[in-house]
Chain A
Amino acid sequence: MFKLVKQLTSMIAMFAVLFAFSTETMAAKKSKTLENTKKRGFVRCGVSQGLPGFSNADESGNWTGIDVDVCRAVAAATLGDATKVKFTPLSAKERFTALTSGEIDILSRNTTWTLSRDADIGLTFVGVNFYDGQGFMVRKGSGIKSTSEFKNGTSVCTNLGTTTELNMRDFFDSRGISYEPVVFEKADEVVAAYDAGRCDTYTTDKSGLAAQRTKLSAPDDHVVLPETISKEPLGPVVRQGDSVWEDIVRWSLNTMIEAEEYGVNSSNADMMKTSNNPAIKRLVGAEGELGAAFGLDNDWNLRIIKQVGNYGESYKRNIADTGILPDRGPNELWTKGGILYVPPAR
């Protein structure tokens, strides 16, 4: 009798252990990051230390910008509220460590997608929210109209820890021009040094140049040269190893772009539920079960469009209306001559 009880209990214990293991493996299919985010009640998002149009905080600490909107979209999709984001301003040097060490869950900080970053250091790029290219800014009075007029001994100010440093070397090296790189950790320091005449030219992504130009003491005395010396596809990044979370961020961004393609915006999203076009109906959660694949409800994409808006709205609000880059250039939809093209949501 006693023996039987003992055997029984050990069997129950074994089952309990087995059961625990099996639920553990089932839970692993879900996103650990999503679970933690829901538990925490906010999305942890790494942004820049202040780049107008992309991620910039005003006096009262409200963040705006197209990079910021990606995080807001994820918050709207996962938590139902686009304002539930905690922004962590990061320098170029800190950004990847902050992500890989788990201090943030999304890095949306005008970060260039390159092979080595994607493959090497435990990161995964989920898409492109801005197609950029590196350019140069010079003083108008210098009379320099093109990068071909740079001479030996040109001093160049730029940021530490960016692809800019590498492109700049490729550029000057391939043309056989000797140059003096002056490399600062913070963007504001670069601007100050260039403004004071320490450097003859300032190089970074063209959108960055346009944005930083507004911080100079006399913005009109400076011009951005026409040449683009590199491809800089900027986009949000997540940690490797949580493919569900990766998909959530990727499709939050894609939803914004596709919404613009189908003419769905923050004000007409609710009406679109009765649209005749199944693609639009899927986009606002009126058809299909798209959210289930991520473990989200069916209104996740509708919330993104309603609370954050489509990509076009975000661009207009943050970049065009602020006068940074009124012309969308390559960041126009593929249907309108740009290169924004996302896979279909179905």
Chain B
Amino acid sequence: MNNIIKKFLPQILAILFVVLIFGFLTINAQTNMDNRGIDFGFGFLSQESSFDVQFSLIEYSGSDSYARAFLVGLLNTLLVSFISIIFCTILGVIIGVARLSSNYLIKNSAAWYVEFFRNIPLLLQIFFWYYAALRALPLPEKANAWFGVTYMTVKGYYIPAMVWENLNVFLYCGLAAIISIIVLKKYANNLRDTQGKQIPVLLYSIALLIILPLLSFLFGGVSLEFELPQLKKLSKISYIYEGGISLPPELIALVLALSLYTSTFVAECVRAGIEGVSKGQKEAAASVGLTPNQVLKLVIMPQALRIIIPPTTNQYLNLTKNSSLAAAIAYPDLVLVFAGTALMQTGKAIEIVSITMLTYLTISLTIAAIMNWYNKKIEIKEK
């Protein structure tokens, strides 16, 4: 009995404490809001938002609801985080490996890069890219074509839009290619384990990825045309490009700043991971006759990844949360659209701020869950 009390009493007290604090905060907020004549409720979410958003992945106009405006902001946050995570990973791996290069120039440039970008506050970098770098770009009518059909201007980056016919057939073919690659990989592994034979899986996979979608063009009635951006006159001196897709400069500046900044941390994680694998492993692998490529792929990387993944997850989470700095440069993310304009128009501060906080929490937990799953998958399996 005594033992049970000892075991559970502190925990019960701790829970009680937390509940009391939350209860107090809720009641306190409620009384103060009552005193000031502010009512609490989420009914506003279904009301018409009556404001427009610059850039949206889904159909949206001012006649849609606040809930839809929330979705627009959320998708914009996810978009900028997703693109930046991909870029910062690619860049981070390259820089991280480059830091271990035996070439003096490569090694030191990589070190300089890391020290430079990780030691300047992110907000300043965002301001730099938006106010200094992108502002130096030409006006639409003076822009030179990049790759012949895209235009980088102060009003945004204009690229051709793809006009598909029978897009679903194409997508099915792509899906079929991916499934067959997975099957092939399983088969190849099985072959290797049972008969010791190796087949060039990578080569076959690439061939599959190209050939199957290509077939859809030949036989599936799929066609793809490009709609090119065309210069259009708005007034005597101002122009824009019409047609095609316009990537707003706010998005570009944000992706640049976020991925350059976070890539330095990813690079350090990668370097730590590779250096964390003991030298003996490499030498042993070489001594059994593996080629340097195989050493990296089969011996070093699987062990390095175990060290790399957990801290890199932290960086992905940081990046996603840092994307809320978007509000500083007018990129319509969750904070700007929902915790900014929507909050101002409705005055529902407590409701909107809690929704926004919960949303970021959910995004972060989801990313963490995915990375944990991946971490589990690659960790040492003890037999």
Contact = CB atoms under 8 A, between A and B. Distances in A.
B210 interface: no
B155 A155 contact: yes
Contact of B53 (A92, A151, A181): A181
Contacts of A170: 50
B237 interface: yes
Contact of A121 (B62, B248, B328, B347): B347
Contacts of A139: 237-238
B332 interface: yes
Interface in B15-61: 33, 35-38, 50-54, 61
A122 B51 CA distance: 22
A321 interface: no
B177 interface: no
Contacts of B52: 165, 168-169, 172, 179, 181
Nearest to B33: A122
A172 B236 CA distance: 21
B345 A166 contact: yes
A116 B347 CA distance: 9
A217 interface: no
Contacts of B131: 192, 196
B234 interface: yes
Interface string B217-251: 00000000000000010111110101000001110
A139 B237 CA distance: 9
A198 B349 contact: no
Contact of A141 (B234, B236, B329, B344): B236
B293 to A, nearest CB: 48
A197 interface: yes
Interface string A163-186: 001101110110000011111110
A122 B37 contact: yes
Interface string A97-141: 100100000000000000011001110000000000000001101
Interface in A51-99: 92-93, 96-97
B50 to A, nearest CB: 5
Interface residues of A, number: 49
Contact of B330 (A116, A121, A182): A182
B341 A122 contact: no
B235 A122 contact: no
A162 interface: yes
A282 interface: no
A139 B37 CA distance: 45
A196 B154 contact: yes
B55 to A, nearest CB: 8
Contacts of B330: 182-184, 189, 193
B186 interface: no
A175 B240 CA distance: 20
Given A161-B341, A182-B54, A200 B238 contact: yes
B341 A141 contact: no
A165 B69 CA distance: 14
A155 B235 contact: no
Contacts, number: 123
B341 A185 contact: no
Interface stretch (A12-20, A142-150, A244-252, A286-294): A142-150
Contacts of B237: 139, 141-143
A240 interface: yes
Contacts of A197: 139, 154-155
Given A120-B347, A169-B51, A240-B36, A138 B235 contact: yes
Which label, helix, strand, loop or mixed, suits the secondary structure of the A interface? mixed
Q: How large is the interface on B (under 10, 10 to 19, 20 to 34, 35 or more residues)?
A: 35 or more
A7 interface: no
Given A143-B236, A155-B240, A165-B341, A100 B38 contact: yes
Nearest to A195: B135
Given A161-B341, A240-B36, A200 B236 contact: no
Interface string A247-270: 000000000000000000000000
A182 B249 CA distance: 11
Contacts of B269: none
Given A166-B50, A184-B330, A93 B36 contact: no
Contacts of A141: 236-237
B78 interface: no
Interface in A12-36: none
A154 interface: yes
B154 A153 contact: no
B71 interface: no
B310 interface: no
Pick the most buried of A141, A181, A184: most chain B CB atoms within 10 A of its CB.
Answer: A181
B319 interface: no
A218 to B, nearest CB: 14
A306 interface: no
B85 interface: no
B73 to A, nearest CB: 12
A170 B62 CA distance: 9
The 3 closest A-B pairs by CB, nearest first: A121-B347, A161-B344, A142-B235
Interface of A: 92-93, 96-97, 100, 116-117, 120-122, 138-139, 141-144, 149-151, 153-155, 160-162, 165-166, 168-170, 172-173, 179-185, 189, 192-193, 196-198, 200, 239-241
13 contacts: A93-B343, A93-B344, A97-B349, A121-B346, A142-B237, A155-B155, A161-B343, A165-B51, A166-B345, A182-B54, A183-B340, A183-B341, A189-B329
Given A93-B340, A143-B236, A154-B234, 8 more contacts: A121-B38, A122-B36, A143-B237, A149-B235, A153-B242, A161-B345, A192-B131, A197-B154
